[in-house]
Structure 1
Amino acid sequence: MNLLLLAIAPVCIIILYVYFKDKYEKEPKRLLLYNFILGAVVSILLTTVIYFAIDMVLVLNHTSIFQQFIRAFFVVALTEEFSKYIIVRYVAQRHSEFNEPFDGIIYAVMVSMGFAATENIFYVLESGYQTAILRAFTAVPAHATFGILMGYFMGKAKFSKNRAQLNLMGLLLAMLFHGAYDFFLFIDFIPGIWLGALASLIVGILLSRKAIKRHQKNSNFRV
């Protein structure tokens, strides 16, 4: 039970943080929970199916930097972010409650945190307390930044004539940061290279804070 709580705690903290940053027009809690569950179940299942299909046709050398680049960006990052993207795009973005740019951030974060919760539970229950603490400050916040960066552009897209381009930009930016984070971890046979993952996480957090502030400033409901 303690391990399960440790796995879920950072997810809950991030959700509360982003929820209270939605200052001017809160989203219905039931709808937020619905998107969280879709992220926790549907995104995970879709990702698993795609991974299974890829593994049947693609075998990558774990000591090849180039092949680990392919794995990080075009297998893991693209698959996972796409599985989140389609929920935000075809469920949240179409809903009438999605009525200001900030909603792109909060719904994308809910989907991402659903995904991160399921993933984190599996990792933590398998590997224990050390993994729980490490992931609470790395992988879980990383998923949050991917969601915020994706949601920033998807929030803009809902109210723009360039919806397709902005939606795609959100997906590509999330994929870029996710791929960079994983790539430096995948090539950990190079001493000290893991610092690149930490650097990409820090940049992602800084950009995420700017994205939140910008959509707060541009809220339709700001008086």
Structure 2
Amino acid sequence: MLWFSVIASALAPGLALLTYFYLKDRYEQEPLKMVAKVFLLGFLIVVPVMIIQRGFTDGFGGNLYVNSFIISSLVEEFLKWFVLYNIMFHHSEFDEPYDGIVYAVAISLGFATVENVMYAWYSHASIGTMFLRALLPVSGHAMFGVMMGYYLGRARFSKGAASKRYLAYSLVIPWFWHGVYDLILSSMTQYWLWFIIPLMAFLWYGGMGKVTRANNRSPFRFLKREEEINT
């Protein structure tokens, strides 16, 4: 019964956060089937991430900055970005800027959920530990997904140099903040909470601002207003 509670606590944060950001789509919510598909793709990329990270660790591991910014954050964010770009970026369902956030959060939380379940299973974690992980790694992956998705949305509905610039931002910005997050956790043993809590507050504040701005750029915004006026 205790193990069931721990595994449930590992699954719940990712599903709850995905539901939260899905419902934040004000104007044209995505098909649940597509969101579930991308969420499951997050499950699948865990295996290549682990293989690549193991290879990099054997060859280049040992340096905190390399571990944080290359082996951990770059590998994870690049594979999430690569899958999203090749599967969803030109998809017909990606028809408003906020869709980038929905799909990027879905793949990020799919990855984070598997990571969380594996941690709970292999470390025999307590409910208290899983609650802390919900507030930090799972929540962190959601925020990195918001950043990636926001700029993918900007790139999808921009042209020329602006589109390419936003596409680069969609990888570089979540990679950087993910690296900062990992560096704090790996380099500090006593005072890490003094740094990680302000960082998470900053990421959530910026992330929710991006949610609002992405919704405000929806081409369906004015159509919905007209429907509300007519009814």
> TM-score scaled by structure 1?
0.92
Q: Is 1:23 the equivalent of 2:26?
A: yes
Q: Does 1:10 align with 2:13?
A: yes
Give the greater-gyration-radius structure (CA): 2
Q: Structure 1 unaligned runs (5+)?
A: 61-66
Distance 1:209 1:11 in 2: 17
**TM-superposed deviation, 1:128:** 2.9
RMSD across aligned positions (CA): 1.2
Tell me the percent identity: 31
Aligned twin of 2:226: none
Tell me the residue number matched to 1:163. Answer: 163
Measure, in 1, the Cα distance between the counterparts of 2:50 and 2:129: 22
Count of residues in correspondence between the two structures: 215
Equivalent residues in 2 for 1:182-193 (5 A)?
A: 182-189=182-189, 191-193=190-192
CA contact (8 A) 2:68 2:179 kept: yes
Letter in 2 for 1:129: I
Give the CA deviation at 1:12: 1.3
Higher mean C-alpha displacement, 107-116 vs 192-201: 192-201
1:131 is the counterpart of 2:152: no
Q: CA deviation at 1:96?
A: 0.5
Consecutive unaligned residues in structure 2, runs of 5 or more: 223-231
- The one-letter code matched in structure 1 to 2:104 is A
- Which residue of the other structure, out of 67, 73, 93, is the alignment partner of 1:71? 67
The 8 Å contact of residues 60 and 66 in structure 2, kept in 1 or not, is answered as: no
Cα distance in structure 2, aligned partners of 1:102 and 1:24: 9
Moved more, 76-85 or 49-58: 49-58
Q: How does 1:57-206 map to 2 (within 5 A)?
A: 57-60=59-62, 67-125=63-121, 126=123, 127-161=125-159, 162-189=162-189, 191-206=190-205
2-structure distance, mates of 1:40, 1:222: 33
TM-score normalized with structure 2 length: 0.89
Per the TM alignment, residue 197 of structure 1 is displaced from its structure 2 partner at its CA by: 2.1
Query: Which amino acid in 1 is paired with 2:88?
Result: A
- Per-residue CA distance 1:124-162 (angstroms, 9 max, x = gap): 222232321110111111100000011100011011123
